[in-house]
Amino acid sequence: MSGATVESVKLAGMVEDGLGAVERAMLDVTDSEVAVLRDASRHILGAGGKRIRPRLLLLSYLALGGRELERAAKPAAAIELMHTASVVHDDINDHGVLRRGLPSVNALWGRTFALLTGDFLFTAVYELMAPYHDLNIDLAKAATALVEGETLQASAVKNNTFTREAYMRIIALKTAALFRAASTIGAKLASAKETEIHALADFGYKLGLAFQIVDDILDMVADEDSLGKTSGLDILQGRGVATALHDANGNGNSSASDPLASIRQKLMEDDTIERARLEAGQLVDSAIADLALLDDRPPKAALVELARQVVKREN
């Protein structure tokens, strides 16, 4: 086994150990004495998920010389809890009944307790981040952006103004900002130079944009079994990349027995999906170019692979 391969195997083990510490931190901080909050939190956390945001933070930290993964675990857990809180709230707004392959919190506990569980997960972030001083500013900005993005999305759908420009602004706020926070916090924890922090911030931001575009593509083409959540909601509710790039609502036959299938068929017949995939691929290529200043070591290669997987994923 070559030296580079040995180092890559060692890195993979370190990242998995770090993600294990992230899971423990999330379970510890959500161990409420209020049973419904504890049980609902453990339900959504136990359902798994891609954990791409904490992985991004850990890899950014390691790529810039960080070595104490326990120190990075709590901020990574905070990032993931913020994302998880947002999807719990999303399922209330969207009436989603499936999340991560299991019934959503909303489906099992109802709207009121789902809302409170999402709030509880958001407040757990404060406890995790308390010792990290100015890094709270990076995460607070991402939290603000997330809420702004979701609000702009709801407004654009309500007012029938879901243009391509609106879509890109929305996903920049509701998704890319949290990715940028993850890579930025990882870099800052490693005491990186300003140029390195800026490069990792740009990497995370573009990766987040690409991730959301692919997520919206999968909402169009994947079934619920492979997606692990209620599919087709973006199309039916007049949002997502399909609506931004193509008049999805105008192409669906509202009198059809299955309007979602009708819309999807029309989208498959033109180049909407192909154009969206191309844009996601270009964003990932640009993100990878931002890593040029990093040394060619396994952590950089792992970041590149993470970016590539964003556009290759099927769920």
**DSSP per-residue codes, 144-189:** HHHHHHHHHHHHHHHTT---HHHHHHHHIIIIIHHHHHHHHHHHHH
- Asked whether the beta carbons of 91 and 104 are under 8 A apart, the reply is yes
State residue 260's pLDDT score. 46
Tell me if residue 98 falls in helix, strand or coil.
strand
SS3 241: helix
Spatial distance between the Cα atoms of 244 and 239, rounded to a whole number of angstroms: 7
Instruction: Identify the pLDDT of residue 162.
Output: 78
3-state helix, strand, coil in the chain (%, to 5): 80, 0, 20
Q: Which amino acid is at 31?
A: D
Q: At what angle do helices 69-94 and 52-63 cross, to 10 degrees?
A: 150
**pTM score of the predicted model:** 0.88
Q: How far apart are CA 161 and CA 163, in angstroms?
A: 6
pLDDT at 251: 41
pLDDT value of position 237: 56
Nearest to 302 by CA among 82, 60, 74, 93: 60
List the one residue out of 237, 257, 261, 265 whose CA is nearest residue 249. 237
Q: Where are the beta strands (DSSP E) in the chain?
A: 98-99, 102-103
Closest CA to 74 of 148, 27, 129: 129
pLDDT tens sequence across 57-106? 999 999 999 989 989 999 999 999 999 999 999 899 888 888 888 899 99
pLDDT tens by residue, 164-194: 888 899 999 999 999 999 999 999 999 999 9
Q: How many Cα atoms are found within 13 Å in the side-chain-facing hemisphere of 268?
A: 11
Closest to 51 (Cα-Cα) out of 23, 87, 71: 23
Taking the CA of residue 43 as centre, how many other CA atoms within 13 Å lie in the half-sphere pointing to its CB? 22
CA distances to 6, 12, 67 from 1, in Å: 7, 15, 23
Distances (CA, A) of 228 to 159, 210, 260: 30, 20, 18
State the Cα angle at 270 between 269 and 271, rounded to 5°: 130
Rounded distance, CA 253 to CA 259, Å? Answer: 6
Other C-beta atoms closer than 10 Å to the C-beta of 16 total 12
Q: What is the pLDDT along the chain (315 residues), one digit of tens a residue?
A: 566 688 888 889 999 999 999 999 999 999 999 999 999 999 999 998 889 999 999 999 999 999 899 899 999 999 999 999 999 998 998 888 888 888 999 999 999 999 999 999 999 999 999 999 999 999 999 999 999 999 998 888 888 887 888 889 999 999 999 999 999 999 999 999 999 999 999 999 999 999 999 988 888 776 665 666 665 555 555 555 555 555 444 444 444 555 445 555 555 556 778 888 899 999 999 999 999 999 999 999 999 999 999 998 877
**Which residue type does 208 have?**
G
Query: With contact defined as beta carbons under 8 Å apart, do 162 and 244 qualify?
Result: yes
In sequence order, the 6+-apart residues with CB closer than 8 A to the CB of 103 are 97
